[in-house]
Structure formats: structure tokens, C-alpha cells
Amino acid sequence: MSRILLCGGGTGGHIAPALAVGRELEQRGHTIGYVTLGRAIEERFASGDAQRYTLSAERPGERRCRRLRLLLRLPKVLAEARRILDDFRPDVVVGTGGLAAFFPLRAALRRRIPTALLEVNARAGRVTRMLAKKVGVVLCGFEGSAAELSAAGARAREIGVPIRAGFGVATREAARAHFGFPRAGLVIAVLGGSQGASGVNRIAAELAPAWVAAGHQLVHAAGAYDAARYAETARALAGPGSWRVVEFLAEVDLLLAAADLVLARAGASTVAEIAASGRAAVLVPYPHHADQHQLANALGLGEGALIAEEQAWGPALRERIGALVDQPAQLERMANASRRAARPDAARHAAREIEALSAI
């Protein structure tokens, strides 16, 4: 069996796919290590008994002059990456994006250790574009990124977005019973992503009064910055339904199983989890990425998602989204379209590709 080092941190979009692939590889008998950046969000993702390493590529709360500060620390971070390789002695190094992937991959390439990249977004990120032609293979979540990287000369393969086991397994009835939801009314899941999304939270707050008045149940993961404020607003909202606001929800698989509609950002893992669960979605892509990769991710659900761009938000779009809960046939059509977009075997395909590298 092989020793495989998975590197990626800073956001749930980098961490969750690494953990999904890591768990699959562990089940196949391999020894797994993880490299992250030491952010608090990374501690929310359990990694079992795997060995953990932290790179000091950034410091807590550091925002201004980030690139300059990183350049000043560059020799130290590269030395850390080399020490991690010395300690873990990997047979393969796999990056899932961000600074936590870049430095170990660079060190591994110099030592001629087999390498791979996992690019889960529909448009390739900066680290992927920089290293794609140098690594052994790039495993892509979407056809668009695989085509883009192949055209640039990389060895890229579309496998889907690896997600952890459990999505699409529980029945709606069992999941509703788990959360104590009543049989009547719809369940609406609001997911702002691992760090919270102010745009999604504002849209949910505008829609919540009408949905609660109609007897529907909202569960809203609002993130660390907004949870307290929206929880106070939710407590003051009376009606036959309910609006539950939490900072973070670990049981997303069960919430999606219980839900009739999902309101969320369009991170690659979120889109893949919605597809695996077969749920209708309203997706609000993050509008400030230069490459608009969340919009490209959202398009991957096809007719399963209504895409609500923040700059287009207004009465007409609010009314259209709010009315979805009164259209059960439309929700069912959207759910079926999402289900058709699912790639449940992505983690297994990724594991097989990584195993093939370890045998080189």
C-alpha cells in the first residue's frame, strides 16, 4: 500500500474534496496525510487518524499586503514543505488548490515524486493553471475545466467532484424525523458555504417571512459573521413555520435529504452535494471572482437550478424564487434534473487515478 499526501486548505472547497478522496483511499488500505493552512474552518472537517501538517503560508487575520508578506516568508514556507515530505515520505502528492497545495507540489516535483491535482471547479484555479502541465494528471470535476486544461497541454480527466459518502442515502421521511420537522409544509435549506455568504443570507432574510407565514421550515447555515444577527431576526418572526439559524451545520447530508428546495452559493462541492441528493436549487454564485467559476459550476446542474445573480436581485427575481414553493411539479422537475447531473463515483475514480500514479 502507498503513502499519499493530500494538500489543500483555507476554504471548504479545498478541504472537503481532499477528505472525500482521503477517506476512499484509507478504505482501500493506503496511509494518508493532510497539509492545510491552519485556519479555524479546517478544524471543522474531521480527518480521522490521518497525520496532519500545517504550512505557515499565511497568518491569522492577515489581509493587507498579503502577497508581499508571502514573498518575505517564501524561503521558510518552502523549507516547511520539504520537511513535510521528509517526515511523511509520500509515494504521491495530491493538491486540491490554494497555497497549501502549491508549495508541497513544487517540492514534490523537484524530487520527482508522482503528483496530481484535483480541480473541482468548472474553471481552473490559479494553482492548477500554474502546475497543470507539470503534474502527472489533473482530475477535474467538470467537463469545462478538463477541456480547458487539455487544450493547454495538460493531462486532464473529468471524474466529477468527490464528495463524502452519505449524500442521497437517507430518505426524506427519515431525515425529517431526525430534525423534528412536521409532515406538513416544505423544508428549505439555506447554505452559505463554509465561511458564510452575505449575499445568500440577505436573500434568505427577504424570503423568510413569507415562507414562515406559509408554514414552511427554513434551516439556515449563516456562517460565523452573520449567524447571531440573523438568529435574532428569526426569533422575532412569528408564524406556523420556522426559521432556524445556525453558524455551521455538520449534517448537511441529512438536511439535503429532508429539503424540498436549497438556496446556496455555487461552490463545486455544494453543487455536487445537491446533485447527489437530487434536490431543486436556487444558486447564488459568488459575484466577485474574476473567472466567475461559481456561475460556471451552477450551470452544471442544468435545469435543476434557478440561477440568481446578486446584481440582478430585485422584486421580480424575489417573486420568482418565492413562488417556487407553490409549484410542486416544477420543484420535482428540477429535482430530477439535479439527480441526472450527479457523479456519485467521483471519489472512487480519483482514488484509482492516484493509485495508478503510485505504481509508476
Query: pTM of the full predicted structure?
Result: 0.92
pLDDT value for 45? 61
Going from N- to C-terminal start, the domains of the chain cover: 3-161+344-358, 172-340
In the numeric block, the cell 452573520 is attached to: 226
Tell me whether strands 137-140 and 280-283 are parallel, antiparallel or unpaired: unpaired
pLDDT value for 64? 44
Q: Does domain 3-161+344-358 have CATH number 2.40.160.20?
A: no
Class assignment of domain 172-340? alpha beta
pLDDT tens digits in sequence order for the chain, 360 residues long: 899 999 987 777 788 899 999 999 999 999 999 998 877 666 666 566 788 998 986 554 554 445 545 555 778 889 999 999 999 999 999 999 888 999 999 999 999 999 999 999 999 999 999 999 999 999 999 999 999 999 999 999 999 999 998 999 999 999 999 999 988 889 999 997 656 578 899 999 999 999 999 999 999 999 888 888 999 999 998 889 999 999 888 899 999 999 999 999 999 999 999 999 999 999 999 888 878 899 999 999 999 999 998 888 888 998 999 999 999 999 999 999 999 999 999 999 999 999 999 876
Q: Which three cell numbers stand for residue 275?
A: 446533485
In the numeric block, the cell 516535483 is attached to: 109
198-213 and 227-235 are packed helices; what angle lies between their axes, rounded to 10 degrees?
Answer: 10
β-pair partners for 283:
264, 307
Cβ 124 vs Cβ 132: under 8 Å: yes
pLDDT value for 76? 86
- Topology alike, domains 3-161+344-358 and 172-340: yes
pLDDT value for 159? 97
